[in-house]
């Protein structure tokens, strides 16, 4: 790649090349998958077309596990940057590309490694448990990683009197504190999507749909979690909609999940919980930076690629391995 093209890629975050409008992008992406022995891993918050061309759809944990297992030469990660980084940490021999390098995350960006290092140094008697939604730099400063599926089990694997710093999500950490009786020290980070649900609008929806169960992701703020009938990770919310005997749900998480819920439980009624603005549902602007066009171009040019210093990769892998060990011992894998 020429230096000028590389600079443009870094500035824009994605390949900006013309695409013949008569191309069938779905067919072209399938062709590129075969030609390049590539696999597309997509997060459940991606737009429906991207979910439909993916080889594996899941939440952060499921995608990390799929990244370990794949024997494809190239992993196309339709998600946000920290997730593609996690795939590279776990599977360094594969080429990992992401449609848009600037698909970030407010949780990850709200916890810069230099500041967090100082915070950790101020509390030398604490261990660090970090939510997987963080950069490789934060993972390298962490003792054990967790996801929203296994966070409680990870925290409870330590003795009650163990002092713990939990980063970067204060809402997930607060929920674990309340449900486990812990007093973890919380980094002050939050997900920009989950912290803006409107309690007032959800309360009004509950009045209009008294039969509907409110289901919420633990990244939501405490007042929303207090009115929730079920709290769980993205995958747990999907399973609850499919398996519970209830018919109607007010869904307080990113709106992309509604596509899989509607596909996997077509007879159920799904009502997106509204945010505290003029929108009817809540989309993550980072997740939605990915498009079919960007996926096609990143497969064709095999750029932008996730590259990582080996020392950082090994330091970031240690707490991920620890998470997998604790999860396996708790029967969660
Ligand atoms: S939904 Fe929230 S936690 Fe997930 S990628 Fe977007 S900003 Fe980050």
Which DSSP string do the residues of 3-24 spell out, in sequence order? Answer: HHHHHHHHHHSS------TTS-
In a domain, 118, yes or no: yes
For residue 257, the CA-to-ligand 1 centroid distance in Å is 13
In a domain, 280, yes or no: no
Q: Whose CA is nearest to atom 3 of ligand 1?
A: 191
Using H for helix, E for strand and C for coil, what is the string for 148-174? CCCHHHHHHCCCCCCCEEEECEHHHHH
Please tell me the total count of domains within the chain: 3
Q: Smallest Cα–Cα separation from 169: which of 133, 198, 193?
A: 133
Ligand 1, residue 105: give the atom nearest the CA: 8
Same domain (yes/no): 182, 256: no
Q: What pTM, to 2 d.p., does this model score?
A: 0.94
CB of 59 shorter than 6 A to ligand 1: no
CB of 134 shorter than 6 A to ligand 1: no
CB of 220 shorter than 6 A to ligand 1: no
Same domain (yes/no): 64, 97: yes
In a domain, 233, yes or no: yes
pLDDT, residue 95, reads: 97
Same domain (yes/no): 186, 325: yes
pLDDT for 73-122, tens place per residue? 999 999 999 999 999 999 999 999 999 999 999 999 999 999 999 999 99
Same domain (yes/no): 213, 236: yes
Same domain (yes/no): 267, 219: yes
Put the strands of the sheet holding 230-231 in their side by side order. 230-231, 213-216, 248-252, 269-272
In the chain, % of residues over pLDDT 70 = 98
Domain coverage including residue 207: 199-272
In the chain, % of residues over pLDDT 90 = 88
CATH of the domain at 250: 3.40.50.10800
pLDDT for 161-218, tens place per residue? 999 999 999 999 999 999 999 999 999 999 999 999 999 999 999 999 999 999 999 9
In a domain, 281, yes or no: no
In a domain, 278, yes or no: no
Query: Which helix (H) or strand (E) element contains residue 190?
Result: none
| Long-range own/partner contacts, residues 1-6 (CB < 8 A, 24 or more apart) | 1/303
């Amino acid at each position: 790649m020429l230096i000028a093209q590389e600079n443009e890629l870094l500035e824009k975050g994605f390949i900006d090349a013309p695409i013949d409008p008569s191309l069938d992008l779905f067919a072209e992406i399938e062709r590129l998958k075969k030609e390049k022995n590539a696999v597309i891993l997509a997060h459940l918050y991606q737009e429906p077309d991207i979910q439909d061309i993916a080889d594996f759809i899941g939440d952060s944990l499921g995608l990390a596990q799929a990244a370990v297992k794949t024997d494809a030469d190239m992993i196309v990660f339709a998600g946000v940057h920290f997730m593609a980084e996690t795939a590279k940490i776990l599977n360094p021999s594969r080429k990992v590309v992401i449609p848009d390098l600037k698909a970030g995350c407010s949780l990850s960006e709200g916890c810069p490694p230099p500041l967090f290092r100082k915070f950790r140094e101020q509390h030398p008697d604490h261990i660090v448990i970090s939510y997987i939604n963080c950069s490789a730099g934060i993972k390298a400063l962490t003792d054990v990683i967790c996801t929203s599926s296994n966070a409680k089990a990870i925290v409870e694997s330590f003795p009650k009197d163990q002092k713990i710093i939990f980063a970067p999500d204060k809402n997930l950490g607060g929920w674990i504190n309340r449900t486990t009786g812990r007093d973890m020290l919380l980094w002050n980070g939050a997900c920009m999507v989950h912290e803006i649900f409107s309690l007032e609008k959800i309360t009004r929806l509950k009045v209009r749909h008294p039969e509907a169960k409110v289901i919420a992701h633990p990244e939501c703020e405490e007042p929303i979690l207090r009115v929730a009938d079920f709290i769980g990770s993205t995958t747990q919310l999907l399973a609850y909609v499919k398996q519970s005997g209830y018919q109607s749900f007010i869904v307080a998480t990113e709106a992309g999940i509604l596509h899989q819920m509607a596909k996997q439980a077509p007879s159920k009624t799904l009502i997106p919980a509204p945010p505290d603005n003029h929108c009817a549902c809540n989309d993550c602007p980072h997740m939605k930076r990915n498009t079919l066009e960007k996926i096609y171009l990143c497969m064709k040019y095999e750029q932008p690629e996730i590259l990582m210093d080996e020392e950082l990769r090994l330091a970031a892998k240690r707490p991920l391995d620890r998470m997998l060990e604790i999860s396996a011992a708790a029967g969660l894998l």
